[in-house]
Chains A and B, each alone.
Chain A
Amino acid sequence: MPGKANRKRAGSHAFLQGYVPSEGVPDELFDFGGEMRPGWSGLIEHLASQKADQLERSFARGRQYLRDAGVFFRQYGAGDQGVRDWPLSPVPVVLTDMEWAEISAGLIQRADLLEAVAADIYGDNSLVAQGRIPAGLVAGNPEWLRPMVGVRPASGHFLHFVAFEIGRRPDGRWWVLGDRTQAPSGAGYALENRVASMRSFSGYYRNANVVRLASFFRAFRDGLNALKQDPSGRVGILSPGPMTDTYYEHAYIARYLGMMLLEGEDLTVESGRLMVRTVSGLQPVSVLWRRLDSVWVDPLELDESSRLGTPGLLTAVRNGNVTMINALGTGVLESRAFLAFLPRLSEVLLGAPLRMPNVATWWCGGADERAHVAGHADRMMIGPANSIRLPLEPGEDTALGGAAAQRKGRDVAAWLEAEGDRLIGQDQVTLSTTPAWFEGRLVPRPMSIRVFLARTEDGWQVMPGGYARLAAEQDPSAVSIRQGGSVADVWVVSDKPVAADTMLHHSTETFVRSLPGILPSRAADNLFWLGRYVERAEGTMRLVRAYNGRIDETPAGGSPLMDSLKEFLEDRDVDVEEGLPRHLVRTLSSAVNSASHIRDRFSVDAWASLTDLQRTLAKMSPKVVPGDDAAAAMGVLLRKITGFSGLVNDNMYRFTGWRFLTLGRSIERALAMASLLSVFADRDAREGGFDLCVEVGDSVMSHRRRYSVTTSRETVIDLLALDHLNPRSIAYHVDEIRNQISLLPGAEVNGQLSGLSRSALKLYSDLTLHTPQTLDGEALGRILQDIYTLTGDVAGTYLS
């Protein structure tokens, strides 16, 4: 072992100066003897071989990747509802494959143990009857769902995807800090961390024998597909929606695994089966990987205040038609009071002690345990038994020596005596430290690792590596990214070359094998409205620019055209006294809101472009004044919004989702142009109205080229209403509407056109048969009405 030499060499590196682990605290880089632990030397040598500025540039690449990908962390509370950058520490935690194998074996055993416990407490409850678990531990836990008692999961298993938070104890062994059996998050972030660390260590990573992550996800995905009892059934991911702090990950995983991203309102239960509402009608769902807590999934039988759930879902589960990942009610196992019983339960249920211990925990409902906790209160964290808080996540309700009770003026012993069955004591935990990059050098930071296990057709698989959480300070009092800490990639390294599994950069190519799947109606609705809002915003920008560009040349008393335009804008809630109308801000927020629900469906760049537009708008908003200034600002915004439209149109797969986006856009544009022409190109239009139409219709050049005369009602109507080749004309978009509708599911029924297809065709024909002479304000009004009716029919047919 070249350990000593390494230490000596490593010690000479500038970035290791001052890397001094705390006394008595194990460190991931150096063992107690000061020798570098196996696996690290290559990485340290790589760091040493780079100049400081090279390293900073490499790490910046990783950070840039995360920013571009839109990885964020949503922060709650304290008046800061915003999102913050994903706090990735660039230097990974390195573990050898041999150590990892031992960790894996311990956690697989634990997953099996938890499965057995779940089966018992939702089965015949023999563990309680035999006195192995106190009845109150189960009955008093709000995650023990009485409606699920006696219900066997359709798959035969309660647990399919679990996570464990582990840390290294002072004696060097690993222990479990907490179990995550409800809907563990972080696997998607682990993937993104990996992509970022590949960027940061490009060149080195490829030959560093780091075990790849992709096969874990592939096996899990295949495992989920194998659970389908009905070949036509779908696999979906159930998310609480964009307001949840891990929504980014839900969208990312859905895109990565090629699964539908669903929210509660996408689903309905019909004849006892779980169905997803899609643009092709109701389709069965066989497997649901839920990313929300059980109590929210069904307002009829569980939390009645839930707006996230699907009424009747529990009935579908009881009927055995759908497999929940994980089974509803498995969150009960996350309660830290179980840590007090699992060591014994392992002996009882598996006939063997735990291979990896968990943090020593005492449930204070028993007299002996109470006495022990009271007697050692000075080194015990004491707090609520049902909490799922990890030992190192600080909280008001849990503190050393019962300080939480003392703060409220209560005596610890009396507290334990009175509420023992609701309290636990837990040994205070010290974690190992790992190198974190801080201002050009490495510093030791306490860390824990979240390890993910997935049930596959070949049993449990452990994600090789994962997701480490690092404390903000060397003092190991808090490991929480909400408290300013950071996260790091975890590398499992082999001394032999590893299979170079393709780990694609957030694309779906490895996994998608067929055409895009069915489109949930809600996703279609959001795409449709995204199309409409973006187009509406663009239209408003053009009108506002036209108005502001004319202010300077308008006589003091105003002009009929300007009055008319002002009124036209006011009818659309646009206040021309505002340089940058609030209406525009609202419309764009609506667009962002629609887009946020379907982030799994369009490109990262398009999302970045849309949010960039929103930021620009916010920045301009207080400064812009009416007149030339506002006109110029609109020019800037128009260029940005066309950038977004371009990205969407260039990148989106031409399938059903894109059709709804396009429909929304074309409907909005046709409506806007028809109403503009009905006012400003009518027979009694104000002077200057024709030129205004051509300008707002962005067709000045086309007009000049096609008609060698000045604008007249006929030329304007011809170009902006009837010309099929002009992408600004009503005819162009009515044609597009007709075309898209004809390609939607159900456009033909038994070889005959559907009602909707007929209406679209009729609208198209009606318009086409007009001439500039016949298409007056009144006729345009009728066309406008027909488009509205058609829009209602599209929504009624596909979007609800």
Chain B
Amino acid sequence: MRYDITLTMTYSYDSPAAGVRQLAHLLPLDLLDFDGAGGSGQPVPRQRLIAGRLDFDPEPAVREDRFDFFGNAISEVAFHEALDEIVIRLQARVEVNKVSAPIPATIPLDGLVAAVAACWDLGPRSPVHFIYPSPRVPFDPAIADYARGCSQPGASVAGVVEALGRRLNVDMKFDAEATTASTPISESFAQRHGVCQDFSQIMISALRSLGIPAGYVSGFLRTLPPPGKPRLEGADAMHAWVCAWCGPDTGWVEYDPTNATFAGTDHVVVAYGRDYADVAPVRGAMRIAGSHTSDQAVDVIPLTD
């Protein structure tokens, strides 16, 4: 499946913002080394970035494009003059290939601790990065209790991931107004509401409490308009879901708790991290007297072959 993705983010400042510096995680990833076909026949990449560009308006004084620790593309920009507004535009064409259903886990949950301990590896995809508390996903006793209730003795790791994700999807109410990007997970979990970021980070905390390495995936989701209605332009949004490590054979699986589904060809990956803080679409710092507002418009348009 191919998509044309456009995103426009607009930051408006009440009074001119000086010394603006931003760090953007917005360009979709090239996932060439992930075998999307599950081993049968000619391997195809899970995701390919055919073309993509990220522009800032006004033109930054300094711009550096690089890759972060986890291999995500980041752009760091700095502006010398004070600004009333910054517009960030992404245009990308991406190919997403079908991911086979997860291989039935060869190890049960109680074997996973040893499997993680056997990882003598600090590379970006090593599960050891994803088992410990991280800035936005601390250990939370209430979530840990909840997670224990979802894991059956002897269940496979992938089975636990799916069961937990489904359960969260049922118990949590999607509410775009209830939380912000900085609401702690303990709070959104206590209220059982939130958006994809809350669903995902709660699920990550739950998985880690069970000993399953779990991370945060930031990306785009193709959304289908209601039957009979046209697609509304700019109505899509950035999305987030969860990746979980199910042992050395199965490796990583991706589950979307907001939609109770494994990530498929509707999911376009932008970045992997331990939690939102590692991969926030835009992190910024500035000196400003007033407040600021931001606005985003996203379109994920499938291309017909």
> Which residues of A from 265 to 295 have beta carbons under 8 Å from B?
268-272
Q: Is A147 an interface residue (CB 8 A)?
A: yes
A618: interface (CB < 8 Å): no
A135–B69 CB distance below 8 A: no
Q: Does chain A have a CB within 8 A of B55?
A: no
A-chain residues with CB within 8 Å of residue B23 when the two chains form the complex: 300-301
The reply on A299 being an interface residue by CB < 8 A is yes
Q: How far is the CB of B218 from chain A (nearest CB, A)?
A: 16
User: Which B-chain residue is minimally distant from A315 (CB atoms)?
Assistant: B76
Smallest CB-CB separation from A134: which chain B residue? B117
Tell me which residues across on chain A come within 8 A of B129, comparing CB atoms. 139, 146
The reply to whether B122 and A147 form a contact with Cβ atoms under 8 Å apart is no
Say yes or no for B128: interface residue by CB 8 A criterion.
Answer: yes
Within 8 A of A (CB), among B251-295: 277, 283-285
In-complex Cβ contact of A311 among B21, B62, B80 (8 A): B21
B74-98 contacts to A (CB < 8 Å): 76, 78, 80
- Residues A138 and B122 in contact, CB atoms below 8 Å apart: yes
Tell me if B132 is interfacial: C-beta within 8 Å of chain A. yes
Residues of chain A within 8 A of B230, CB atoms compared: none
Q: With A and B bound together, what is the CA distance between A147 and B120 in angstroms?
A: 20
A129 adjacent to B132 (CB under 8 Å):
no
Nearest B residue to A139 via CB reads B128
Contact of A131 among B64, B120, B126, B131 (CB under 8 A): B120
Interface check A128, CB cutoff 8 A: yes
Q: Which of A121, A130, A311, A421 has the most CB of B within 10 A?
A: A311
Cross-chain contact B117 with A268 (CB below 8 angstroms): no
Q: Which residues of B contact A268 (CB under 8 A)?
A: 19
CB <8 Å contact, B131 and A140: yes
B69/A146 in contact, CB under 8 A: yes
Residues on B with beta carbons closer than 8 Å to the beta carbon of A146: 68-70, 129
Kindly state the separation between the CA atoms of A300 and B64 in the bound complex, as whole angstroms. Answer: 14
On whether the beta carbons of A135 and B80 are closer than 8 Å, the reply is no
Contact with B along A777-793 (1 / 0, CB 8 A): 00000000000000000
B21 engages A312 (CB within 8 Å): yes
Residue numbers in A under 8 Å from B76 (CB-CB): 300, 312, 315
The answer to whether the Cβ of B14 comes within 8 Å of any Cβ in the partner chain is: no
**Partner among B19, B61, B128, B284 whose Cβ is within 8 Å of the Cβ of A271:** B61
**Who on chain A is nearest to B70 by CB?**
A146
Query: For A136, what are the chain B residues with a Cβ–Cβ distance below 8 Å?
Result: 116-117, 128, 131-132
A135 touches B121 (CB 8 A): yes
Across the interface, do B78 and A140 meet the contact criterion of CB distance under 8 Å?
no
Residues of A within 8 A of B68 (CB): 146-147
Name the residue of chain B whose CB is nearest to the CB of A146: B69
Contact of A421 (CB < 8 Å), options: B64, B78, B117: B117
Tell whether A365 is near chain B: CB-to-CB under 8 Å.
Answer: yes
Instruction: Let me know if A397 is at the binding interface, CB within 8 A.
Output: no
A730 to chain B, nearest CB (A): 32
Residue B1 is within 8 A (CB to CB) of chain A in the complex: no
Chain A residues, Cβ within 8 Å of B70: 146
Q: Tell me, yes or no, whether B119 is within 8 Å of chain A by CB.
A: yes
The reply to whether the CB of B135 lies closer than 8 angstroms to some CB of chain A is yes
Verify if A149 is at the interface (C-beta below 8 Å from B): yes
The distance in angstroms between the C-alpha atoms of A271 and B277, with both chains bound, is 25
CA distance in complex: A147, B277 (Å)? 13
Chain B residues positioned under 8 Å from A304 (CB to CB): 135, 277, 283
Closest to B126 in A: A135
- Alpha-carbon gap, A385 to B21, bound state (A): 36
Give every chain B residue within 8 A of A147 (Cβ-Cβ).
68-69
Residues of B within 8 A of A603 (CB): none
Chain B nearest CB, measured from A743 CB (Å): 28
Q: Give chain A residues whose Cβ lies under 8 Å from the Cβ of B120.
A: 128-131, 134-135
Smallest beta-carbon distance B29→chain A, Å: 17
A136 to B69, CA, bound (A): 16
Q: How far is the CB of B126 from chain A (nearest CB, A)?
A: 6
Residue numbers in A under 8 Å from B119 (CB-CB) = 135
Contacts of A149 in B (CB 8 A): 69, 122
**Given the complex of chains A and B, what is the CA–CA distance between A129 and B62 in angstroms?**
37
Q: CB distance A300 to B126 under 8 Å?
A: no
- Inter-chain contacts of A134 with B (CB < 8 A): 117, 120
Interface residues of A in 247-274 (CB under 8 A from B): 268-272
Q: How many residues of A contact B (CB 8 A)?
A: 31
CB within 8 Å for A139 and B69 given contacts A303-B135, A312-B78, A365-B117: no
- Point out the residues of chain A lying under 8 angstroms from B126, CB to CB: 135, 139
Which residues of the partner chain A approach B128 to less than 8 Å between Cβ atoms?
135-136, 139-140
The answer to whether A139 and B285 touch across the interface, beta carbons within 8 angstroms, is no
Number of contacting residues on B, CB 8 A? 28
- CB nearest neighbor in A for B130: A139
CA of A271 to CA of B70 in the docked complex: distance in angstroms? 25
A186 CB, min distance to chain B CBs, angstroms = 29
State whether the Cβ of A125 lies closer than 8 Å to any Cβ in chain B: yes
Which residues of A have CB within 8 Å of B19?
A: 268, 311
CA distance A315 to B128 in the complex (A): 26
Write the chain B residue with the least CB distance to A271.
Answer: B62
CB nearest to B80 among chain A residues: A270
Docked CA distance A268–B120 (Å): 39
Do the beta carbons of A311 and B285 come within 8 Å of each other? Answer: yes
Q: A77 → chain B, closest Cβ, in Å? A: 22
Partner of B121, one of A129, A269, A303: A129
**Beta-carbon contact of B21 and A300 below 8 Å:** yes
Complex CA distance for A785 and B135, rounded to whole angstroms? 50
Cβ contacts under 8 Å, B283 to chain A:
300-301, 304
Interface residues in B104-132 by Cβ distance below 8 A to A read 116-117, 119-122, 126, 128-129, 131-132
Q: Give every chain B residue within 8 A of A422 (Cβ-Cβ).
A: 132
Contact yes or no, B285 A299, CB < 8 A: yes
B117 touches A269 (CB 8 A): no
Quick one: closest A residue to B132, CB to CB? A140
- Bound form: Cα–Cα A135–B69 in Å: 16
Of residues 303 through 319 on chain A, the ones whose CB sits less than 8 Å from some CB of chain B are: 303-304, 311-312, 315
- Whole-angstrom distance from the CB of A263 to the nearest CB of chain B? 14
Chain B residues with CB below 8 A from A270, complex form = 78, 80
Residues on A with beta carbons closer than 8 Å to the beta carbon of B116:
136
Instruction: Give chain B interface residues in 19-66, CB to chain A under 8 Å.
Output: 19, 21, 23, 61-62, 64
Task: Give A149's nearest chain B residue, CB to CB.
Answer: B69
* Alpha-carbon separation in the docked complex, A269 to B78 (Å): 9
A134, A136, A147 interface centre (most CB from chain B within 10 Å): A136
Within the complex, what minimum Cβ distance (angstroms) separates A168 from chain B? 36
Q: How far is the CA of A121 from the CA of B128 in the complex (A)?
A: 14
| Smallest beta-carbon distance B297→chain A, Å | 25
Q: Cα distance A312–B285 when bound, in Å?
A: 9
**In the complex, A99 Cα to B191 Cα: how many Å?**
63
A268 to B128, CA, bound (A): 35
Instruction: Give the complex CA separation of A301 and B116 in angstroms.
Output: 27
- Measured between alpha carbons, how far is A785 from B60 in the docked complex, in Å? 38
Closest to B134 in A: A142
Contacts of A365 in B (CB 8 A): 117
Instruction: List chain A residues, Cβ under 8 A from B285.
Output: 299-300, 311-312
The answer for the CA separation of A147 and B283 in the assembled complex, in Å, is 15
Asked whether, in the complex, the Cβ of A135 is within 8 Å of the Cβ of B122, the reply is yes
Enumerate A499-517 residues with CB–CB distance to B below 8 Å.
none
Interface 1/0 per residue, A337-381 and B, CB below 8 Å? 000000000000000000000000000010000000000000000
Query: In the assembled complex, how far is the CB of residue B182 from the closest CB belonging to chain A, in whole angstroms?
Result: 9
Which residues on A sit within 8 Å (CB–CB) of B78?
269-270, 312
Q: Could you name 22 residue pairs across A and B whose Cβ atoms are closer than 8 Å?
A: A121-B122, A128-B121, A135-B119, A136-B131, A138-B122, A139-B122, A139-B126, A139-B129, A146-B129, A147-B68, A147-B69, A268-B19, A270-B80, A300-B21, A300-B23, A300-B76, A304-B283, A311-B19, A312-B21, A315-B64, A315-B76, A365-B117
A sample of 9 more A-B contacts (CB under 8 A), given A270-B80, A304-B135, A315-B76, is A129-B120, A134-B120, A135-B128, A136-B131, A139-B122, A139-B126, A139-B129, A146-B69, A312-B76
| Chain A residues at the B interface, C-beta cutoff of 8 Å | 121, 125, 128-131, 134-136, 138-140, 146-147, 149, 268-272, 299-301, 303-304, 311-312, 315, 365, 421-422
